[in-house]
Structure 1
Amino acid sequence: MAGYTESTEHPVISSLPLSHLSIEVGHFALKDIARDPRGIRAQLTHIAPLVAAFTESARLRFGRGARISTCYLIDDYFQPELPPADIVPKLLAAAADTGVRIDYLARESGCASATRFAGGEPIGEPVPIAEMVAARIVPDPAPPATGGRAPTAESGWLCNGRRSSEHDPAQAMTDRRYRPPEEFGRREHTIFLDVELWSHPNGPGRDKRWSCAFLAAVWHLLRLGMLRDHGAPVLDPLVWVPDDPAEPWPDEWSDLPAVIRLNPAAQPFAAYQTLSMLPKRYIGIEHAVRVILEHLDLDEDVVARTVADGVADGVTVPDLVSERLSHLLLDGS
């Protein structure tokens, strides 16, 4: 196992190169990429100067040598029926036409589990990334405990406080007055959020169907370089070298690595801070992401390593990963 030593019986946290900033350059439905290339170009035309502005801002903050990478997340988890051979060329052509550089192309399915590749072929068992993150969830206690709903590990639901009295079991409702939900750590008034992390569409105990919010949280953790498997990064971006240059993209998403390095000269995929340029409809998802990240017991050694790397780089890295995220919400739906 990578990073394992018998002398310590603890995984050694391997070094991970980090950019100063990772910029996510939009997010489009696959059907829109396939059917509305003009609309995609119009949106990317709007995004291009924003990427340039935030790049310059990062250079002013971190110096002219600031390391900045860009990425795009393909929604193949919820829309697997549209093949990469149809989607990827159209997306990359639109990006090239509008001057939007995409250094890394990632698959949302890779946030659920990632297969390692060697020589362009998948090898070994997939790394269950989403399960690894789910195992680190620590829900807030909600005293007095009522037993009204199963714990997060069983129910797949996580909230940022105490649910209303409607969720109390009947035997606990000695006082029939309604008690509203309560956000822990609120500022005078509550903004209560209850997030579904996964479901079991094929029945209890069957395979989990991860929610968009949970996979988005995993996506941010990957971009921040916070996930390890026995001390080693859970995935390595790979340069994609097609077998047939005339048909560079396969018909199945599973035939592609979780993260592809499109730009050989790109700065590192992971970064101290992320910036996500997303349509406004994702504001609810990103609120849920923050709740999820604030309920994770991340590996302290990984956190400490990242903070120490930041010190060496002249970058102040917050201990809370939720404080390393930033967003720009774009007009339109």
Structure 2
Amino acid sequence: MRPFTYERAVDALGAVKSAAATPGARFIAGGTNLLDLMKLEIEQPQHLIDVGRLDLAGVAPTPDGGLRIGASTSNSTVAADPQVLARYPVLSQAIVAGGSPQLRNKASVGGNLLQRTRCAYFYDTTKPCNKRAPGSGCSALEGLNRNAAIFGASAACIATHTSDMAVALAALGAQVETLAASGESRTTPIIDLYRLPGDTPQIETSLATGDLITAVVLPPPPAGGQIYRKARDRASYAGGLASVAVAGGQVALGMVALRPWRAHATEAALAAGASPAEAIARELEGASPLGRNDFKLPLVARLSAAAIHEANGRGA
């Protein structure tokens, strides 16, 4: 591991000002992803700003009937919160589907949303990767791309985003609160937090230098049932192959793009009276598999249709 300096933030505004003013600075809370990347020398921050002890934790109702979840709240705390379990079960199910209990106990909400891809070539510093080393090429295009994206990919990157929590939040229409070094607070739909790769896959989010996620805000839960379903090669220590979150008539797919994929074509078809199988087929018309990941088409079709059926039954 390369040497770095460390600072424990006293308040959120001080943290973002320090991050904006210090080249190579990164925020750290739980550290469950960042520390691994530092050990592999994929991430090489010069300065770490610890925001894990800031007053950014907790789950509280909002005046409009939604919930506000602080960015430092642990994944386990969110999953077990009575308000989440009762009103947003899809979020609790998604969190439990990701990682081990030990990781969920440590991982923060903000860190979960910003975790980086698990693409094998991103983690292998001996291989070209445009996300890790811009302009070097994408090894996955002609390599081991079984788990590559089927939506929103480009010739520069075919990786997928791995957060289960983000998929559920996308289906729920959540928004992300951020704080800038200027002191300005901003609220962004979670889908707009992430960028598709295009020609610049190394730019993963819409966050500016120094921006800090302070909370996630959930609107009132949509009418209808909620469910999260995930498929992977084995039950533990394996990344997901595909997932789906259903919240009433709202559907999001996971592990199929470099961001949570809001299935707008599926939602429109469901609203028009299509069956779950017909609705997800409409979405998959826009998919672009690469050969080794062709299996994701029938997998997503079956997984999504079953989840929509189950959610409809729970919402009855």
Fold match (TM-score > 0.5): no
Higher relative contact order by CA 8 Å / sep ≥ 6: 1 or 2? 1
Q: TM class by shorter-chain length?
A: under 0.3
